[in-house]
Structure 1
């Protein structure tokens, strides 16, 4: 079984565009993936959801009820986060604004979790030449990384 580590933007797209009443099979599969541990995430994603997406009550209620999937980083994951930040270019993943305002930054933790569990990152960020986005860092460290559309394709979700 493949294990997927979801970024906050993937949860936002799911909850924002795929209404449960219109896509019941998608939600059955999603909830099943969460229940069996195939879909997971990290604590910082939960913090991002809590802080940035207050207007969407559905995702906040769901995140509170399913807080078990938003794991605290293990020691191995924390050590890998250190490896990411040893690359000076990748230190820019934390913007000055987020640093100054003390906002959560989930990206390095998402990548670290996927690396340690040999999982796949699912994000809707794009890989840009010389960028400092999740796909760029995943490519550098050879961590599998796909977007929501590719996730649905790989898992053979068709509606």
Structure 2
């Protein structure tokens, strides 16, 4: 079993929709346990996306995720360059706004894919995003992962693979 790299929407969508902090403590306790064991990790760019709102979710993350949870992506630059080259090669398909958003160095998506690509046999991305290869105004993580043979699954599928309940 490898590690699961969680996207920012893993936290945001769970908190806003399915597993609010004030209702679903079992979910959040499981997330904390998985983070402490290193089963799930994320990247510095996701941390930046989560830590810019000064809300309850940010507070929970700061209080419950270990320091080593958010991995530094500086060592993934060669893989990032491959992901960026892939996106640039799709300029016939995607609208300029979609490419600009994906190529923005402040956005996490390309970096999370690069981090997974650095060890694609042992890293799986976990995201609520769904594949939509015909979409032209947004580059979706699962669509990029497919071209790089990176596994990308939804959070509930991760819990099933781990045989966890909450």
| TM-score, L = length of structure 2 | 0.78
Give the Cα–Cα distance (whole angstroms) in 1 for the partners of residues 84 and 158 of structure 2. Answer: 27
Q: Which residue of 1 aligns with 2:116?
A: 114
- Taking only aligned residues, the RMSD between alpha carbons, in angstroms, comes to 2.5
Give the Cα–Cα distance (whole angstroms) in 2 for the partners of residues 146 and 10 of structure 1. Answer: 11
Q: How many residues align?
A: 151
Structure 1 unaligned regions, length at least 5: none
Give the Cα–Cα distance (whole angstroms) in 2 for the partners of residues 23 and 63 of structure 1. Answer: 15
Pairwise CA distance, 1:42: 0.6
Q: In the alignment, is the contact (CA less than 8 A) between 2:5 and 2:125 conserved in 1?
A: yes
Q: In the alignment, is the contact (CA less than 8 A) between 2:21 and 2:57 conserved in 1?
A: no
Q: Which residue of 2 aligns with 1:155?
A: 162
Q: Which residue of 2 aligns with 1:70?
A: 70
Q: Which residue of 2 aligns with 1:95?
A: 101
Q: Which residue of 1 aligns with 2:152?
A: 145
Give the Cα–Cα distance (whole angstroms) in 2 for the partners of residues 48 and 123 of structure 1. Answer: 14
Q: Flag the structure with higher helix content.
A: 1
Structure 2 unaligned regions, length at least 5: none
Q: Which runs of 4+ in 1 moved over 3 A?
A: 19-25, 90-94
Q: Does the residue aligned with 1:158 lie in a helix, a strand or coil?
A: coil
| TM-score, L = length of structure 1 | 0.81
Pairwise CA distance, 1:23: 3.4
